[in-house]
């Protein structure tokens, strides 16, 4: 009798635990293979988009190929999360079935349970729905520099991950922010389409403003010619009087650039300003 029970126990160990182990191994391998396929497809599409010729006019309206690459990486993140959720759910049901539990009532009651859960997880549903709309409308993607505002404290930085429930971004101080999509009411994206580079200069009230404008314009043209900004700067600079006070006149220089390049262009122009102002004998205000 004892020998028969031992044989039954050994048979169970060789059957159920082994099957469960195979299910888990199969789920892991399937997830890895599907994620690898998604990665290969995204990589191939990114290469195709990067080899596409895009002229300056297309860049000005946000059609640059790197934008497509950002969207592809964003969808890759979401698809990978979906793969893990679906494969994990199926594997769990199979394991419960192997343990002798009848999973048919669970499947049949999924609709009723879903309604009940929905009432208790309205915030989660809101986050997921908001995430779907953000992806469909291409409000931002991985690699974009954004400013997010809404119910939560103001957050800005570079997007590192976009999921259906949470957006992750890193700010200029290195902090990693995890923002629920349902809390995001406004999005300012600095990486789409085009941007504006700006610089300011304060001159004494008796300065020749016409001459000063010519100096700034010539300095802009020289910067483009010397440093090769032709593909980055998308038009002629605008120079206008921003403010007038008793002790100074404020001139503002601005030019349209590719998205994400405004800080580099502005920095390059500011490096040239002291030398240009000195050569033109313009007097800076205190």
Mean of the per-residue pLDDT values for the chain?
77
pLDDT greater at residue 68 or residue 229? 229
Rounded-to-integer distance, Cα 241 and Cα 159, Å: 36
What token pair was written down for 73?
Answer: 């990486």
Asked if the structure places residue 118 within a domain, the reply is no
pLDDT score of 157 more than 70 = yes
Residue 11 has pLDDT above 70, yes or no: no
Q: Which two tokens stand for residue 269?
A: 């122009």
pLDDT at 63: 46
- Counting the structural domains of the chain, the total is 3
91 and 168 part of one domain: no
Same domain, 87 and 20: yes
Residue in this structure with the two tokens 């001459």, named with its chain if needed: 211
Structure confidence at residue 55 (pLDDT):
41
**Residues 211, 184 within the same domain:** no
pLDDT of residue 108: 62
Is residue 228 domain-shared with residue 273, that is, in the same domain? yes
- pLDDT bin (cut points 50, 70, 90) of residue 227 is confident
Q: Residue 57's pLDDT is what?
A: 37
Same domain, 183 and 130: yes
Q: How confident is the model at residue 60 (pLDDT cuts 50, 70, 90)?
A: very low
CATH number, domain at 262?
A: 3.30.70.100
Q: What tens digit of pLDDT does each residue of 252-261 get?
A: 999 888 888 8
Give the pLDDT band (50/70/90) at residue 52: very low
* Residue 58: per-residue pLDDT: 41
Same-domain check for residues 93 and 5: yes
The CA-atom distances, in angstroms, between 167 and each of 32, 163, 186, 264 are 23, 6, 13, 27
Residue 185 belongs to domain spanning: 123-192
């Amino acid at each position: 009798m004892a020998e028969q029970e031992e044989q039954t126990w050994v048979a169970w160990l060789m059957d159920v635990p082994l099957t469960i182990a195979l299910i888990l191994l199969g789920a892991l391998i399937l997830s890895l293979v599907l994620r690898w396929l998604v990665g290969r497809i995204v990589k191939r599409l990114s290469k195709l988009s990067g080899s596409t010729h895009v002229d300056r006019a297309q860049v000005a309206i946000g059609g640059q190929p790197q934008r497509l690459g950002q969207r592809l990486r964003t969808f890759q993140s979401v698809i990978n999360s979906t793969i893990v959720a679906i494969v994990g759910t199926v594997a769990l049901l199979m394991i419960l079935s192997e343990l002798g539990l009848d999973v048919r009532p669970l499947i049949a009651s999924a609709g009723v349970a879903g309604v009940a859960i929905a009432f208790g997880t309205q915030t989660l549903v809101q986050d997921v729905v908001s995430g779907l709309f953000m992806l469909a409308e291409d409000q931002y993607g991985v690699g974009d520099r954004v400013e997010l505002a809404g119910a939560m404290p103001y957050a800005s930085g570079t997007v590192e991950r976009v999921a259906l429930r949470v957006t992750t971004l890193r700010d200029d101080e290195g902090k990693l922010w995890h923002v629920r999509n349902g809390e995001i009411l406004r999005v300012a994206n600095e990486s789409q389409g085009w941007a504006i580079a700006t610089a300011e200069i304060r001159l004494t009230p008796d300065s020749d403003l016409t001459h000063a404008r010519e100096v700034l314009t010539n300095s802009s043209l020289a910067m483009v010619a010397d440093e090769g900004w032709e593909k980055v700067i998308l038009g002629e600079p605008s120079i206008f009087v921003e403010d007038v006070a008793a002790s100074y006149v404020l001139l503002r220089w601005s030019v349209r650039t590719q998205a994400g390049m405004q800080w580099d262009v502005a920095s390059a122009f500011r490096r040239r300003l002291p030398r240009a102002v000195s050569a033109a004998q313009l007097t800076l205000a205190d």
